[in-house]
Structure formats: C-alpha cells, structure tokens
C-alpha cells in the first residue's frame, strides 16, 4: 500500500498543528463559532446531536493492521470503544471531545492517516472496489489511480471551494462493486486503447440525495496518462458553470441534467484540448512509482482447490455457508477475499468495537499480507486469504462475533447513522435495520431469499444509499412521527437504477411487516429459485408488490 | 417570538466536548430535570439572552428553545429528536448512552 514520503509526513504534521492552533484559538475566544465552523469541517469535525463527530479518511478504503490498531486505540482512549465504518469507506467516531481532537489527529498522523477533505465543498475521499487488486475479474488494480487522484485533489487550490462536494469512485472491473454510476465522477479502468492499452471509461453526473440520477457516460476511453487532464477539465467546467445560487441544485448531476450531457461533453472536450499534453500528463515513471506501492504480495503457488477447506466445509455446514457467502474469487489460485460482516443479527451496521478492530488487525497481519479494506457496504475485507487458512480464520471470527455469513443477503443492510446521531436526519435508520435483521435472522430463510440488498437512509440526503437498494427505505418526519417510504428496484452496480416509490409510507411499527410482505411476494412470484429479487422485480414491475402491500 | 402557551427549555451543545446541555437555574446542566422551565415570553427572552452570554463566554454553541412536558416525574422533550438528544442513541448493543456529566 501507499507509504507517505517526507513531503506527505510534513504536510499532515503541519496540518495537525494548524488545527491544534485553531482549536486553541476557538477555546480562548479568538475565533467565533462562525469563523471556526468552516475550519473544523475542513478537518472532518462535525457537531452532531450528542457530541462532535470526527470523520477519518480511509483512502480508497485501504488499511494496514497497524492503522486499524491505531483506530482501535483511538476509540478506546478518546471515544466510547467503538467506531462506525461508513458508506464512503471512512470511519466516524461519534463522541470525541473538541479539546482532544488535535491529539487524535496527531495519533492518526503517526500511522499516515488524517481527516482532511472528509467534509466541505471539495473533492472527497476517492472510493473504489473493496476487492481491488485481488478480484479475479478486474482488468487492472484501480488503487494506484485512486492514489494519483488523491494526490492531485488534496488541497487543490482551484477545487477547494467548489459549488458543492464532489465524489469520485473508480473500479478496475466491468462488474461495478463501487457504485461508480451514482458518483459525481465514476471511472472504469479497462482495456480498449491502442494495442489493448489501459484507460478509463468516464461517467459523469451520478448521485443520490434529493435528486437521484444515474451518471451518463461522458467519454468511453481516456488513456491512462491523460486521466488527470480529463478530470481537471471536468472540474473546471463544473467550477465555472455549477450553480452556487441554490445548495440543492449545486451538484454536478444537476448541471449535467439541466444542460444535457452533450453540451457538457463539448465543454469538457474544449478544456481537455487545452490541458492535454501539459503538466497534468502523467509520466510513465511517476505512475510506475505509485503502482509499485500496490504491487501484488508474494503469493504462494497453490492449487486452486484446497483439501483443508473441503474437509472443513463438509464437517461444518455453518462454516460452509459462511464460505459460500463471505468469500470472493481471487486472481491468485488458492486464495480468496474474505468479507468480515459488520452486520450481526440485531447489530448496528458498520459498527465495530475496538477489541474487534484489534482482532481484524491481527488477522490481516497473519492471513492477508497485512491488508484490510473497508467496503462501501459497511463491512471489512481481508483481500488475500489462502483457502487453506479459512477454517482457522473463521474460528477466530466466531470467537470475536464477526462470523455472520450474510454478505449480500437481506440482513447485510446498509444504514446511515440516522436520527440516533445525525443532526440532519428526520427519522431513525439503525433501529429499523436492527429489527429487520432480527426478523430475517434465520439462515435458511435468508439463503432461500438469496441476493437482496436493503438500504436505509434517515433523510433525503441518502447516506444509506436507499435509492439504489433493491429494497430502499427512506425515513421521513410526518407531523412529528417517523414514517418510512419504500422504494423498489434500485441497483448500485453496472445495471444501476434508481428505485421507484411503491406507494404511501409506513409507520415505524408497520415497516418491518411491509418489507416482509415484499419479500414474501417475491418468493411467491419468482420464476425459480435462480431468479433473484431484482430480476423478478424488473420482470414483474411493482404492481404485485403494491397489491400485496395496499390491496387492489 | 415565543409562544407562551408552551413549556420550553433552552438547550445547546457544550463547546469543549459537544455534549448536550440545558440552561438551569445555576448555569448549564446536562440533567434535563434541572433545566429552567420557560413558561412565558419574558422567560424566553431571558433564557435566550443567557444563551447568547453562554456563546460569548464560550461555554456552549448553538442554543435554541425546545418544547417539553414537565410532569411530577421529570421533564420530557416533546419531539423525538430532542428525546434522543436527552437520553442518547436508541440503538442498544455496544452503544453506551452518554452518561450525565457535571455541569
């Protein structure tokens, strides 16, 4: 993984000292709250319902064991012994004291981490496929490009005060596990240039929130070395034409929607023509230097089949189920990527106790070449695990309460913090997720239902990705009461779609039953066990679900 | 301007640690039951003035009035958002509700 050079270390240290000074001046009264607020936000510090919240950047969701252990230490020392992994592959602490945040940032800097650009109208943490560098189906590893974009966009003077926040996601596989089509810019690294060279398919203007839109393809191929010039061209067009008069119409998706992708493409191409071949051209040696940080680990030469795994699978069907759901094909024979579910029955999606973080750090060091990933689905990933090691790894996960075999099942719920923590929320998300996970806890039933993603947001900002849930739940405030609107048919991947509202909303005590009704309707109408929920919905439309929920 | 038919209290977050506090008779308190009840328009103006002083003296940030119900067994916010602020997250598990701290 990427390692800081002297410049990076000095930059983060200086930034920490700068924020320490700003906190001291705020407490001493030299800065008012109005003056201080934008400064704290630039360092990832929000004021939520109960306390300050610190959002820590996890660049493209990649952590080492040492970094994870530091996060555990911070949660134990400065917070309430847990952390919350988010849909942007970041980590949030919900209870830090303002006075102690400079000390937390200093601790983070020791392990090459920070909270810069986790808030504000700038280019945010770049996200990627959580199986990057490991997945059998990828054209190439997207992480070097995520790192190059991170370096280009960090404190970029021209793009530090954009009309609104700006999110970039990059994947190296045609199978989109990074939800790139619901980002401001989505990049798909693929072969398609001269002599089968690599470059990027570029999507622009996707996003969720109050105006959910699937991104449009703005260019089918940008050669690798011209990526930054093309991104800069897009950002320049957005910075110039993006609306600043209305916060709700300021995202680039609105610009693309109002002007049309063809007009925006023309403007971007004009900028690109000026920029290409200039200082933003990425020299091959610079790219190779970054790529070297992400070189594949020293995989052993192994047979694709593991006798140890086969024997353990036969001996323990629960283990077998976990392997079937929570492992993903790896490019190296004899290896898999492991999903560590942060969705135990009745648990809080994305939360991990500090002791669990320590255990994951140990497991990464022992079994996964010291690599951990955070998925946008709020789980943790060990990307490179030998199949032979799965039984031993699983035994540790069972002891730690981390062995739920539900990746991609209905209980693998994405949920935002909602009204339990968030100052923007209208309704609670987590308790709905907890009740749904309890309702569908039965392993046989989940297996029968199969692939089904369920996503919950506590307000229209859609941090819980409800618009792209096969079943999406949006919490609203109706005359002081929590109400939940259900959408069906959303999808986050290469078949991205925005879910359709199924009908009138449900009260808190009705919504879990409503979801069960939807699931039962699917089970009744699917053509076979092989037809997943989303395929059945696309075939059937919403009519049978409406009839089951509301009557004819 | 204040609606005098309602019972209210002034709430804010403490500057140093962000914790939820209420204006009491003896300064800011994290115990809602010790909050000063705002019953009249004059009470509201006095409380809001105290809030501005709290901001100026860097004790608290973002003060605002909330509707409450004051019964013999204590003070209860009317809105869910404020009940969650007063009592902590409703999510159970490893989530420990904020412990009352000394004002």
Fold of A307-400: Sulfite Reductase Hemoprotein; domain 2 (3.90.480)
Fold of A6-110: Sulfite Reductase Hemoprotein; domain 2 (3.90.480)
Give CA B16 to chain center in angstroms.
Answer: 16
- In chain A, domain spans: 6-110, 134-293, 307-400, 414-550
Does B94 map to a domain? no
Does B18 map to a domain? yes
CB-based contact A431 B55, cutoff 8 Å: no
CA atoms within 13 A on the CB side of A498: 15
Does B97 map to a domain? no
Closest by alpha carbon to A372, among A66, A81, A168? A66
CA-CA-CA-CA dihedral for A88, A91, A93, A94, to nearest 10: 30
Nearest beta carbon to residue A99 from set B17, B20, B94: B17
Residue-wise DSSP of A53-99: EEEEP-GGGEE-HHHHHHHHHHHHHHSSSEEEE-TTS-EEES---GG
Q: Could you tell me the two tokens for A359?
A: 């255990």
CB within 8 Å of chain A, chain B residues 13-32: 13, 15-20
Does B54 map to a domain? yes
CB-based contact B96 A47, cutoff 8 Å: no
Of the residues B89, B97, B98, the best mutation for testing chain A's interface (the one with the most A CB atoms within 10 Å of its CB) is: B89
Q: Could you tell me the two tokens for A84?
A: 């919350």
Question: Do A6-110 and A134-293 share a fold?
Answer: no
Does B52 map to a domain? yes
Chain B CB contacts of A482 below 8 Å: 80
pLDDT tens across the length of chain A (552 residues): 889 999 999 999 999 999 999 999 999 999 999 999 999 999 999 999 999 999 999 999 999 999 999 999 999 999 999 999 999 999 999 999 999 999 999 999 999 999 999 998 999 999 999 999 999 999 999 999 999 999 999 989 999 899 999 999 999 999 999 999 999 999 999 999 899 999 999 999 999 999 999 999 999 999 999 999 999 999 999 999 999 999 999 999 999 999 999 999 999 999 999 999 999 999 999 999 999 999 999 999 999 999 999 999 999 999 999 999 999 999 999 999 999 999 999 999 999 999 999 999 999 999 999 999 999 999 999 999 999 999 999 999 999 999 999 999 999 999 999 999 999 999 999 999 999 999 999 999 999 999 999 999 999 999 999 999 999 999 999 999 999 999 999 999 999 999 999 999 999 999 999 999 999 999 999 999 999 999 999 999 999 999 999 997
Does B2 map to a domain? no
CB-based contact B98 A347, cutoff 8 Å: no
Closest by alpha carbon to A186, among A219, A144, A150, A152? A219
CB atoms < 10 A from the CB of A551, how many?
6
Would an 8 Å CB–CB cutoff place B89 in contact with chain A?
Answer: yes
Asked if the ipTM is above 0.90, the reply is: yes
Q: Please give the residue of chain A at the shortest CA–CA distance from B90.
A: A420
Does B60 map to a domain? yes
Nearest beta carbon to residue A482 from set B80, B88, B89: B80
Domain that holds residue B30: 7-87
Report the gap between the CA of B93 and the closest CA in chain A (Å). 7
Q: Does domain A134-293 have CATH number 3.90.230.10?
A: no
Q: Which CATH class is domain A414-550?
A: alpha beta
Q: Per the structure, how many domains does chain B have?
A: 1
């Amino acid at each position: 993984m990427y390692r800081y050079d002297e410049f990076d270390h000095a930059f983060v240290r200086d930034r920490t000292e700068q924020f320490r000074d700003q906190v001291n001046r705020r407490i001493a009264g030299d800065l008012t709250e109005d003056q201080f607020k934008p400064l704290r936000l630039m360092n990832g510090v929000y004021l939520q319902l109960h306390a300050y919240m610190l959002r820590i950047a996890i660049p493209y969701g990649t952590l080492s064991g040492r970094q994870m252990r530091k996060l555990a230490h911070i949660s134990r020392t400065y917070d309430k012994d847990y952390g919350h992994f988010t849909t942007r592959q970041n980590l949030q602490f919900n209870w830090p004291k303002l006075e102690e945040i400079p000390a937390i940032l200093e601790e983070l800097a020791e392990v090459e981490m920070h909270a810069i650009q986790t808030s504000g109208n700038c280019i945010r943490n770049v996200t990627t496929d959580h199986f990057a560098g490991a997945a059998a189906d990828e054209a190439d590893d997207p992480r070097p490009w995520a790192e190059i974009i991170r370096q280009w966009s960090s404190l970029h003077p021209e793009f530090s005060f954009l009309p609104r926040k700006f999110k970039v996601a990059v994947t190296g596989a045609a199978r989109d596990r990074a939800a790139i089509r619901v980002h401001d810019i989505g990049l798909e690294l693929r072969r398609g240039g001269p002599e089968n060279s690599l470059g990027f398919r570029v999507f622009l203007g996707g996003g969720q929130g109050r105006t959910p839109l699937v991104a449009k393809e703005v260019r089918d191929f940008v050669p690798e070395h011209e990526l930054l010039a093309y991104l800069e061209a897009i950002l320049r067009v957005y910075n110039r034409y993006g609306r600043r008069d209305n916060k709700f119409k300021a995202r680039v998706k609105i610009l693309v929607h109002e002007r049309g992708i063809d007009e925006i493409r023309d403007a971007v191409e004009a900028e690109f023509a000026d920029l290409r071949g200039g200082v933003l051209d990425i020299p091959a040696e610079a790219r190779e230097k970054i790529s070297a940080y992400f070189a594949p680990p020293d995989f052993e030469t192994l047979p694709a089949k593991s006798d140890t795994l086969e024997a353990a699978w036969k001996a323990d069907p629960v283990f077998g189920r976990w392997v079937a759901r929570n492992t993903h094909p790896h490019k190296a024979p004899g290896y898999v990527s492991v999903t560590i579910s942060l969705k135990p029955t009745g648990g809080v999606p994305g939360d991990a106790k500090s002791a669990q973080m320590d255990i994951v750090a140990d497991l990464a060091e022992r079994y996964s070449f010291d690599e951990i990933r955070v998925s946008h689905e709020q789980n943790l990933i060990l990307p490179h695990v030998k199949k032979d090691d799965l039984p031993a790894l699983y035994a540790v996960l069972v002891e730690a309460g981390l062995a739920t075999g539900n990746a991609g099942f209905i209980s693998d719920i994405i949920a935002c913090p909602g009204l339990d923590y968030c100052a923007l929320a209208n309704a609670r998300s987590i308790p709905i997720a907890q009740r749904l996970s309890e309702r569908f806890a039965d392993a046989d039933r989940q297996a029968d239902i199969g692939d089904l993603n369920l996503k919950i947001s506590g307000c229209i900002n859609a941090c819980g990705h409800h618009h792209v849930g096969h079943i999406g739940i949006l919490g609203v405030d109706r005359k002081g009461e929590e109400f939940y609107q259900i959408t069906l048919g959303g999808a986050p991947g290469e078949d991205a779609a925005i879910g359709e509202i199924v009908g009138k909303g449900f009260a808190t005590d009705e919504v879990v039953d409503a979801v069960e009704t939807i699931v039962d309707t699917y089970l009744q109408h699917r053509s076979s066990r092989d037809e997943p929920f989303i395929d059945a919905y696309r075939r059937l439309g919403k009519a049978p679900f409406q009839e089951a929920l509301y009557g004819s | 301007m204040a609606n005098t038919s309602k019972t209210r209290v002034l709430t804010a977050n403490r500057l140093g640690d962000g914790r939820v506090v209420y204006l009491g008779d003896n300064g800011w308190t994290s115990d809602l039951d010790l909050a000063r009840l705002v019953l009249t328009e004059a009470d509201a103006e006095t409380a809001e003035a105290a809030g501005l002083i709290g901001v100026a003296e860097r004790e608290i940030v973002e003060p605002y009035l909330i509707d409450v119900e004051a019964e013999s067994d204590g003070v209860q916010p009317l809105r869910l958002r404020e009940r969650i602020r007063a009592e902590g997250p409703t999510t159970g598990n490893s989530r420990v509700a904020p412990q009352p701290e000394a004002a």
